[in-house]
Amino acid sequence: MDPVQTAFALVLDPYVLVVILASAFYGLFIGAIPGLTATMATALLVPVTFFMPPIPAVAAIVTATAMAIFSGDIPGALMRIPGTPASAAYADEAYAMTKKGQAELVLGAGLVFSVIGGLIGTTILVFAAPSLAEVALKFSSFEYFWLVVLGLTCAIFIASDNLAKGFASLTLGLLVATVGMENPAAFPRYTFDRPELAGGITLIPMLVGLFAVSEILRFAVSTAPTLKLEQDRFGSIFRGQWKLLKQYPMATVRGSLLGTAVGALPGAGADIAAWISYAVSKKFSKTPEKFGTGHVEGIVESGAANNSALSGAWIPALVFGIPGDSITAIAIGVLYLKNMNPGPTIFMENPQNIYAVFIVFFIAQLLMLPLGWIAIKTYKQVLEVPRNVLMPLILLFCTVGAFAINNSVFDIGVMLAFGVLGWLLEANRFPVAPVILGAVLGHMLEENFITSMIKADGNVWSFFQRPIAGTLGVLTLLLWMVPIVLRLSKKGRVAHG
């Protein structure tokens, strides 16, 4: 029998379909709960997939992660708490739209453009996997260094109106990243002899604290329930989406392509794709001044980007066994376990298996439309619970989620500390998101800088000597010039005027 036909037979098995459906709801649930990430959903799925044959095992992971990345948008839009880090880039924007009474539009855009991004990303995964991975494979630490600097630059540019405060938040995040001994010299820094700090400050408890606990604290002291849903009934979330697609075709395609490319780069996943895409969208927009005030354009682009990044991450994972992000790092383990060893041979030895995985990717994206719709509709039920009842329950989920990452009570303390910090930062108009980005990218920045310096025997010019690194480096430096040039020309005009 033809492998493609076999693949369809493998996927359309009732057992596999039930697994896909169950993991879809699971992914929607985990993603919609602040602090529980798509990565965590995958890690927690691994023991369950132990009991399954290869196809349903991989299908469970693919479906759950796709759903989780989308449903992370829901609490972002409705409560300004991104469900997963991948939604953090545009949570403020989405919440601003909800406040303007455009909840349906923003939720629908999140859903529809997640699906479109996912479909485009998957199509690229299927057709261009080997050649795209070749490009990513040419990236050494020099290229990665510039990529990270580019990401950080974007973070400051989109952070806030106050450049100094955005920079302060980012630097704070970078300082947080230096804690622990996970640095190239393996020297324990700022650990105060606490073994819990030796591994550094864990990202998830920090994220839960900054985004969720601070929100609960804010609720506890608010006179009016400020986080009351701006809207508790949704009309059709699909209305107006076709118009958006016609209005922003470039943004959709650009977000999907950029997302796939960033996802395929090892180490950079859906969250970085969303940040970069949001910044790119603002740069290319005809109306950049509307960004941050509840404007849908950036959400269209970065919403498509984070879901396409998910597919993109599978490209190097499947073709070379090299994870594109933390999710596929776990998924690769499952592939090996299920005797579907990643590598070019995966297309030769058991082609039906790999085709079956591709089919699952498409099914998962399409399934997102009806299930995402249900998730949005029932999310309303969740939030119709009185908020003073809901908040303690969210606090319990956060506590358990923070604990579950390392099975460590220390992380509950970390969550508390960053909760209070986030609360103080927010009240004093310091943006919170750059703290997270600094903490995530700090490790990559330092590691790639130090290892490059060792490789080049301390020669700084080596950062420009490789063709791709040189291009990225010059690009970054040019980007840095933009605000300076703008400011100078503005001053010049004022002086002349």
Partner 1 sequence: MASVFLRLMSALFALAALAISPVFADGAFPQRPIKLVVPWGAGGGTDAIARTLGLLIERDLGKPVNVMNITGGSGVMGHQTVAMAAPDGYTIGLITAEITMMHHQGLTKLSGDSYTTLGLVNIDPAAVQVRADSPYKTIQDLVAAIKANPGKLKASGTARGGSWHLSLYGMLKAMGVDPLTVPWVPSMSNNAALLDLVAGGVDMVAGSHPEARALIDAGKVRSLAIMDDEPSKLFPKVPTLESATGTRWESGVFRGLAAPKGLPKAVEDRLAAAVKTAYESPEFKQFMDSRGFGRVWRDPKAFADHMAKVDAESGALMKSTGLVK
Partner 2 sequence: MTVRVNDVVSGGLVGALGVTALVLAQGFPEIPGEPGPALFPRLAGAGLLVVAVALVLGGWRSRNAAPWVEWPEWLSQPRRFAAVVVIVAGLAITALYIETLGFFICAPLLVGALLVALSVRVAVAIPVALIATAVVHAIFYSGLRVALPWGLFERFAW
Q: Annotate 189-242 with DSSP letters as a single string.
A: BS-TT-HHHHT---HHHHHHIIIIIHHHHHHHH-SS-TTS-S-S----TTTTHH
Tell how many helices (H) and how many strands (E) occur in the chain: 24, 0
143 binds, among partner 1, partner 2, none (CB under 5 to 8 A by kind): partner 1
Q: What are phi and psi of 461, to 5 degrees?
A: -65, -20
Tell whether residue 492 is a contact of partner 2 (CB under 8 A). no
416 binds, among partner 2, partner 1, none (CB under 5 to 8 A by kind): partner 2
Measured from the Cβ of residue 370, the count of other Cβ atoms closer than 10 Å reads 10
Q: How far is the CB of 262 from partner 2 (least distance, A)?
A: 24
Q: How far is the CB of 343 from partner 1 (least distance, A)?
A: 4
Q: Which one, of 68, 4, 11, lies nearest residue 310 by Cα?
A: 68
Distance, CA of 470 to CA of 465 (rounded, Å): 6
138 binds, among partner 1, partner 2, none (CB under 5 to 8 A by kind): partner 1
Q: Which is nearer to partner 1, 237 or 439 (CB)?
A: 439
Binding positions for partner 1, rule: CB under 8 A: 42-44, 46-47, 50, 137-143, 180-182, 184-186, 188, 195-196, 198-200, 202, 266-267, 319-323, 329-333, 336-337, 339, 341-345, 406-408, 443, 447, 450-452, 454-455, 457, 466
Q: How far is the CB of 43 from partner 1 (least distance, A)?
A: 4
Q: How far is the CB of 81 from partner 1 (least distance, A)?
A: 24
Three-state DSSP state, 180: strand
391 binds, among partner 2, partner 1, none (CB under 5 to 8 A by kind): partner 2
Distance, CA of 261 to CA of 129 (rounded, Å): 11
Residue 450 in tokens: 């130090």
Q: How far is the CB of 154 from partner 2 (least distance, A)?
A: 17
Tell whether residue 420 is a contact of partner 2 (CB under 8 A). yes
Contact 380, 77 (CB under 8 A): no
Ranges within 193-252 binding partner 2 (CB under 8 A): 213, 216-218, 220-221
Using CB under 8 A as the criterion, what x/- string covers residues 371-390 for binding partner 2? Answer: ---------------x-xx-
CB-based contacts of 407, cutoff 8 Å, min separation 6: none
Q: How far is the CB of 455 from partner 1 (least distance, A)?
A: 5
* Of positions 9, 12, 128, 454, contacts partner 2 by CB under 8 A: 454
Q: How far is the CB of 322 from partner 1 (least distance, A)?
A: 6
Q: How far is the CB of 138 from partner 1 (least distance, A)?
A: 6
Q: Which is nearer to partner 1, 36 or 158 (CB)?
A: 36
Overall size of the chain counted in residues? 497
CB-based contacts of 412, cutoff 8 Å, min separation 6: 205, 399, 402, 403
343 binds, among partner 1, partner 2, none (CB under 5 to 8 A by kind): partner 1
Contact 11, 52 (CB under 8 A): no
Q: How far is the CB of 213 from partner 2 (least distance, A)?
A: 7
Q: How far is the CB of 219 from partner 2 (least distance, A)?
A: 8
Ranges within 390-419 binding partner 2 (CB under 8 A): 391-393, 395-397, 399-400, 403-404, 407, 409-410, 412-413, 415-416, 419
Measured from the Cβ of residue 259, the count of other Cβ atoms closer than 10 Å reads 36
Q: Which one, of 277, 272, 280, 331, lies nearest residue 303 by Cα?
A: 277
Of the chain, the end-to-end C-alpha distance in Å amounts to: 78
Distance, CA of 285 to CA of 267 (rounded, Å): 28
Q: How far is the CB of 317 from partner 2 (least distance, A)?
A: 24
Q: Which is nearer to partner 2, 197 or 273 (CB)?
A: 197
Residue 293 DSSP one-character state? S
Tell me, rounded to whole angstroms, the distance of Cα 483 from its chain centroid.
Answer: 27
Q: What are phi and psi of 180, to 5 degrees?
A: 100, -175
Q: Which one, of 422, 386, 444, 15, lies nearest residue 228 by Cα?
A: 386
Q: Which is nearer to partner 1, 320 or 355 (CB)?
A: 320
Ranges within 124-183 binding partner 2 (CB under 8 A): 164-165, 167-168, 171-172, 174-175, 178, 183
Q: How many chain residues bind partner 2 (CB under 8 A)? A: 59
168 binds, among partner 2, partner 1, none (CB under 5 to 8 A by kind): partner 2
Contact region with partner 2 (CB under 8 A), list: 152-160, 184-192, 253-261, 325-333: 184-192
Q: At what angle do helices 3-11 and 14-32 cross, to 10 degrees?
A: 60
Distance, CA of 210 to CA of 437 (rounded, Å): 12
Residue 145 in tokens: 């260094």
Residue ranges binding partner 2 (CB under 8 A): 44, 47, 164-165, 167-168, 171-172, 174-175, 178, 183-185, 187, 189-190, 213, 216-218, 220-221, 386, 388-389, 391-393, 395-397, 399-400, 403-404, 407, 409-410, 412-413, 415-416, 419-420, 423-424, 427-428, 430, 442, 445-446, 449-450, 453-454, 457-458
